[in-house]
Structure 1
Amino acid sequence: MGQEILRAEFYAYLNAVLGSLDLILHEINILYQLGIEERRVKLSRVKSALQNRGTFEVSTQLQSLENLDWYKSLRDLRNKATHNPGMIWTLYLVIIPEK
């Protein structure tokens, strides 16, 4: 029973962290009037539309986020879990000794 709760909480955390980026992408789409259909908003399309409009600073910031290792790892984990609901979850706890 406890493992199912832990899995659900961890999955909810992953979706919240990565979902916040999705929300930001939708806000950028609206703010810069990029015209991307709501269901088609994703990082690559937003970056491309921003570059086409000459808004390189925002596009560059999004690109730098996409290249961060922690972001790639979380995104890949969420994608695997989303597209493979039977996936076995293994959680590792890192214990930092007190000094």
Structure 2
Amino acid sequence: MTFLRGLWHGLKVLGAALYAVLTVGLIWAGLAQLGTAPHWGWACLAVVLAVFAARGLIHNRGVEKGASYVIAAGLYLAFLFVAAIVTNGL
């Protein structure tokens, strides 16, 4: 059981770090793309705002703070995966 708690703690730490890095990265990418591809720029900024709001809502409803970071990082990675498929194809 201690091993599983350690894995969960490591995932929460990784999720918090990914959330912070991807938030800054998507804001930066969104602002940079507003000049060349405004639809992707606004999409990046909208995803950041939506994930920030969703993380705040689920945290206030009893979800553990670390788990909300893991969920938010997963949502960011899902958006990046879909964006890569749409722009480059499979």
TM-score higher than 0.5 here?
Answer: no
TM superposition score normalised by structure 1:
0.36
